[in-house]
Each structure stands twice: as C-alpha cells, then as structure tokens.
A = this chain, B = another copy of it.
C-alpha cells in the first residue's frame, strides 16, 4: 500500500489554505491541507506495525514543529505547484532528516523545502496569474504543530489517516 507522512495544521490554517485550494488545487478533495514530511512510498500491509513503531520513536525524539509561513511561492519552472512557504526550522529539518535516512528511502531528487500546497496542476497561464496576484499579498502566520500523521492512500486516490504521533511527548 502507498503511505505518506504529513503534518496537519490548525483548523484556522487549513481553512485558509482551502479557500485557495478549492479553486487551484486538483487534489483538494483527496486530502486536507497538509505539510508533507515524506512523499508517497510503498509498504506491505504486514510491515505497517514496524513502520508505526519506528515513527513513534522518531516522534518521541522530535520537538513540536514550528510552522512559520512568510510568503506564497511556486516551484516553477520545476512544476506549477503554488504553496505557502514555511521558514526552515530545526524542528522540521529533524523530522525530514529522520524520515530520509536509513532504514527509510532517501530522496535524492530534491532537498527539503517546507511548504503547504495551495495550488497544483494549473495551466502555465493560470499559474502565472495566480502567483503574480498572491505574491503581492502579505501572508504571515505562525503556529506550532505537535503531532504528525501516517496516512495511506485508497484506490480512488484519497488519503486516510492511519495513526497520529505526538511530537516530543512520551504519551
């Protein structure tokens, strides 16, 4: 099965992200607004308990994640994905590094650019228009997220949360 690991922000931030996603994000109905820590990877169903135990250990060693949004940006020209850009912070880098070192698969293609996607799979024209407008607006928002989530993907492409892990707690 396909799984992924993500942070889900507060309702307030999810609602704000959705106000853009409903118009610009083709994945709007597939998953709530999120910050990806590890992209989709394959796990056999019988390996899930081992994965959960590993994630629990990582979460215990982690700190709650500081989400410091400071602007809208885009991955253009790599892709037309538009996102809230999140300032790098060791609480995020720690999680990313742990989830991309042995025994996890690495991610040789990209470095870690913390972000919350608000648009994707737009035409070049629409992308340019939306990014142009949003870059002129002020987006600043800070919050701390104290849980990460393991999700699996259903056959219709939508995502279902399998487990939550508290960051930095023993509970």
Interface of A is mostly: mixed
Q: Is the CB of A32 within 8 A of B147?
A: no
Residue from B11, B14, B154 within 8 A of A18 (CB atoms): B154
Interface residues of A, count at CB 8 A: 25
A57 at the interface (CB under 8 A from B): no
A63 at the interface (CB under 8 A from B): no
Chain B nearest CB, measured from A44 CB (Å): 12
Residue from B1, B18, B149, B158 within 8 A of A156 (CB atoms): B18
A98 at the interface (CB under 8 A from B): no
| Most chain B CB neighbours (cut-off 10 Å) among A29, A152, A160 | A160
A161 at the interface (CB under 8 A from B): yes
A42 at the interface (CB under 8 A from B): no
Chain B residues within 8 Å of A45, by CB = 11
Q: Is the CB of A163 within 8 A of B160?
A: no
Residue from B14, B15, B149, B154 within 8 A of A14 (CB atoms): B154
Residue from B15, B18, B155, B163 within 8 A of A15 (CB atoms): B155
16 new A-B pairs (CB below 8 Å) besides A18-B156, A147-B163? A8-B160, A11-B154, A14-B154, A14-B160, A15-B154, A15-B155, A15-B156, A18-B158, A22-B156, A32-B154, A32-B159, A56-B171, A147-B162, A149-B161, A161-B161, A161-B164
